[in-house]
A = this chain, B = another copy of it.
Amino acid sequence: MRYELYYWPSIPGRGEFVRLALEQGAADYVDAAREPGRGNGVQAMVRWLEDRKLERPPFAPPFLKAGRLVIAQTANILLYLGPRLGLVGKSEANRLWAHQLQLTIADFVGEIHDVHHPIAGSLYYQEQKKEARRRAAHLREERLPKFLGYFERVLVRNGAAQGYSIGRSVSYVDLSLFQLIAGLRYAFPATMARVETNYPRLAGLHDRIAGRPRIADYLDSARRLPFNEDGIFRHYPELDA
């Protein structure tokens, strides 16, 4: 099956969590909104979103076309892809646990986004800079240690094998944790330099994922989009410390 991923072409954003799974799973996929030849990229994506004949429309990107299915919501896409790409265990307990972790990552990603957009996604950062500074202090001092401390504990407590979040092999959750750490290092370099030694397992996981052959190949390719100030993880020095 050839999968079609639809996501904004100029940012890694939430689409990147799906891309990493497709890459590690060696899936046959096309990053549809980045291929102008195939129905004009973003226009094709917007057509899907606005298609009045679609009985089950996505609310927003990313969404994945898989045969006749159109699946939206990042964690839901990974719930679907995980078993098909060998990126989650077979038991229901393992799948629920992986999904639970992915939803907790999604919550944290939402909070990271809202640091630079605490008032409205439709306003520019410059229009909510004062509020962003205030929110950023709480992210750095409360939320970031709470979430990273939690994921560090998950890594420590995995009884099956050290170095993975679940069981004895790489899962889509590990790939998402890699992206989370990479994004935090980009957006909050000073904060991360100060606190990262508190999370040695997460730092180790980041490096091991980056070194996996398929992921290393992907990170070196043009398919990997760099972080930038239009995405979720934005580097504004005034929000770091």
Give chain A's interface residues, CB within 8 Å of chain B.
Answer: 54-59, 69, 71-73, 75-76, 79-80, 93, 96-97, 99-100, 103-104, 107, 110, 114, 118-120, 122-123, 131, 134-135, 138, 142, 147, 150, 153-154, 157-159
Contact = CB atoms under 8 A, between A and B. Distances in A.
User: In terms of DSSP, what is the predominant structure of the interface of chain A?
Assistant: helix
A201 to B, nearest CB: 15
A19 B169 CA distance: 35
A131 B84 CA distance: 44
Nearest to A71: B96
B138 A120 contact: yes
B157 A135 contact: no
10 contacts: A55-B157, A56-B154, A57-B154, A58-B100, A59-B107, A71-B96, A72-B104, A76-B99, A79-B79, A120-B138
A199 B123 CA distance: 26
B55 A76 contact: no
